[in-house]
Structure formats: structure tokens, C-alpha cells
Structure 1
Amino acid sequence: MSSGRTKLMGMLMRPKRSKLKGYQKQDPPRRWNIVRGDTVQVIDRKHPEFGKQGKVQVVIREKMRVIIENVNLAPKHIPADPMRGTKAETIMAERSIHYSNVNLVDPVSGFPTKIRYNYLEDGTKVRISKRSGAIIPKPQLWKQPQLTNLIASEDSDTIKAEDVWAETFEERPSKWEAMRQELLRTMEEKETKMGGGGDASA
């Protein structure tokens, strides 16, 4: 059997990547125990940020990932924006971490813990730490809408409403247009001199 046919048979007999261990699509959690503003800790021992704690800034439920403040930092290039007058720069920004790699931090012991849910006497549903039995209240931040891709500017020279609609664009003539006008002017002067010299000779 030729090498090409052997390679083709190997490709056909190879199992699909989705059936291999590590490529199985995980089902989303039945209940989201972590919300924005919670203090969590990275529990995956293979992760380079193992053991670090921080507050959750963003929860991406579609991808089952969270972004934690000052955790899993990596360089991020920001391109220049001539319209805003900013230059290109490289900053350190947080990268997302999978939801299963973090756990809530127990408020009493300060260690990561799993939780269970219970009801208070007034019927309020609360999160209970399995490590210490303490209540882990949800922060008020998670109730506020998540604002993303907003550009805020603190510096503004516009005070009056009519200044907003004022035309501030100044059209500048092109360098090639100026050279063209200069060339036409020179040609007209030469034609005028040639015409004047012809009349004097006559």
C-alpha cells in the first residue's frame, strides 16, 4: 500500500476531535453561582495564575468565562486613533478565565469554597459557604447593567449648545493643486509675452 493511501486511511479512521478527551463541549451550569463583584480564587492547579484572588469584573455567560480584576494579565496592543489624537500603545489587560477554574472565596476563612443555597426566615434566598457555613451576600454591582464598548471623555471645550453644530473644518488646498495653478500662471505669462513681442515686430 502506498504512503499516500496509508495517510488517507489514517485520516479516515481517526476519531473526530469533538469525541476526544479534552474537546468535549461542557454543558452550561444549571445555576450561576458567581456574579459581578464577587471575590473569587483561581483553583485550577495547571493555570499559571493558580491561587490568585480578585473581584469579578465581567461575566460572559455565552462562553462560560469570567474576567477577574488584576488576574491573568497579558499585553494588549491598542492601535492609534488619529480622530481622537491617541497614539498606539501596549497595555496590560485582563484575559478571561473559564468559569469552572474559579470558586467563590469564603468570607470567614479566606479560602475558596463551594456553596449551597438556603432560605432565611423572611424567604430571602442566600448563598451559604460549605467551608464555614457563612452567608455570602451578592454584591450590589451585579444588579447594575453591564456597560461595554463605551468611550468616555473627561476633557471637553464645548460649553454652549451652538458650539456643537459650529463648522470647524478648514479646507486646505492640495500641494499638487497649488503647483498646477502656479504652472498655469507661468504658461499664461509666457503666452502674454510672446503675444506682445509679435505685435511689436509687426
Structure 2
Amino acid sequence: GIVSALGRTVSESRAGGGTGATIANMVQTSAAINPGNSGGALVNLDSEVIGIPTLAATDPQMGDSAAPGIGFAIPVSMVKTVAGQIIEDGRVTDSGRAALNITGRTVVDDSYRPAGVALVSVEKGGAADEAGLRAGDIITKVGDTGVTTITSLSEALASDKPGDKVTVTYTRDDDSRTAEVTLGEI
């Protein structure tokens, strides 16, 4: 296979529908990634590891089985960072993944179209809490990126780092507001 793209943002699918984690900075490859071979090595022609195969795109027309020729790998730079933390501290101490430190759910408008992310809970002392957001607020935008679903919120944050400042647009009691949020970490 070949490396067909760098820096891709991918959301995992979940059994029964929906999405799992959204992962940024993935290597897209045409190398086959079949069930059971995630975690192996993606190597270049010089036999150097360039990534760890993690997931394959799925094709709904094929019963959600792996789409041929579309796989994704975690880049070796991230693997080295995380492995170093595990060796040094026995756990991941810095994921490098930004978060609002909230639990949310997608809400729909009167036409049943996704219209934002309602905050179900806000972690005390977390990024959203420190910025004044609270349960019941509905996030509609992060920076210049519209937010209509929980997945689009994850994608909007995927390229940010913990400590970055972003403007979050949200609705509270039918009133549109903004807050400057210093992002936390997953």
C-alpha cells in the first residue's frame, strides 16, 4: 500500500451506530487493515516504522465491513511520545488532545436537523466550567467552525491542543453568547 494522505481527522464508528473517539493527525494508507491486524507496523521502503495501523474506513453498502484501500494509522511521532510517557510514568500523562471537559449530546431543531451540542454535564474545574458554561447550554460554534453534532464538536477540537484559547458560541435561554475557553485535556 501507499501513504495517500497525512494529518487526517477520523472518527471511529461504534457497533449499533454513532461514533467513538475522533482522532486527529492520522496517516491514511491504501494498505489493507483487517480485523486483528491493528497495532502492527506500517513501514516505509527503508523498513522504518512510520505508523501503527489503527482502523479502516467502513462501507455501509458492504454491511459496514472494511472499505478496501482506506486505512488509518497513528503516526510514529505520536507513538513515540505516548510510549515514552508509559515507560517513564507507567501511564499516559499528556494525551495532547484538547477537550472542553463536558458531556454533551446532539440536539435537533424544529425540522429535526442537528443544531448543536447540549451540555449534559460540565466537569467542575474543567475548561468549560472555568469559562462559565453550564449544563443546558447549547454549543453551536467553536472558533469559526459550526457545531451541529457531538462528532462535529470533536472534529472542531481535533486540531487544537490543551491550553489553546478558543471562542465558543453557545445558546443559553434562547440567547446567543460567546465565551473564551482555555482548552483542557482528555
TM-score class, shorter-chain normalisation, is: under 0.3
Q: Which structure features the higher share of strand residues? A: 2
* Higher-Rg member (1/2): 1
TM-score normalised by L of structure 1: 0.21
Structure 1 or 2: larger helix share? 1
Q: TM-score, normalised by structure 2?
A: 0.22
